[in-house]
Amino acid sequence: MKLKIGAFVIIIIILTGFAFAQSCKKEGIPDVKLPPTNFVIYPNDTRYISLNTAGGYAFLNSKPPSRGIIVYNVDGKNFVAFDRTPPNEPDKCHNGDIYTHLTIEYPMVVDTCTNRKYLILDGSIVSGGGKYPLVQYKTFYDGNSLRIYN
């Protein structure tokens, strides 16, 4: 009888732990399905002249369903990269096969459909409401090449 009660208690503890873990899931990250991304650019190349200095940014093309990538030079040594697909209401404004995408109004990234604004440094929402920050890619800069990946 003690063995049955002990097993029952263990099952209750496991189920309680699972329920707690589910309730603590990280909020703030949209369920955006992006294609695998892993490529390198060279910020010192003349094609990316705008990335040569701190505060510079560039728009890069990407494979659908991404609408492109924004790359921003934070301080000359660190870069951030965000997907141009709006994380909140991404399909709200469209004209046929053309959908809204994010643009830059420095120092903000702006959803041209909803006028929602995000901070270019970390993708957080600044104004216009919404639940999700910008979808961010990982970056690695070695002083010569910039790898952008997820």
Mean pLDDT of 128-145: 95
Residue 96 has pLDDT above 90, yes or no: no
pLDDT of amino acid 21 = 38
Distance CA 119, CA 110 (A): 9
Confidence of residue 64 (pLDDT cuts 50, 70, 90): confident
The sign one gets for the Cα dihedral 92, 96, 97, 103 is: negative
pLDDT of amino acid 84 = 93
Residue 111 has pLDDT above 70, yes or no: yes
| pTM flag (> 0.95) | no
Distance CA 4, CA 52 (A): 68
CA angle (108, 27, 93) in 5-degree steps: 50
Beta-bridge partner residues of 57: 72
Nearest to 137 by CA among 53, 56, 57, 71: 71
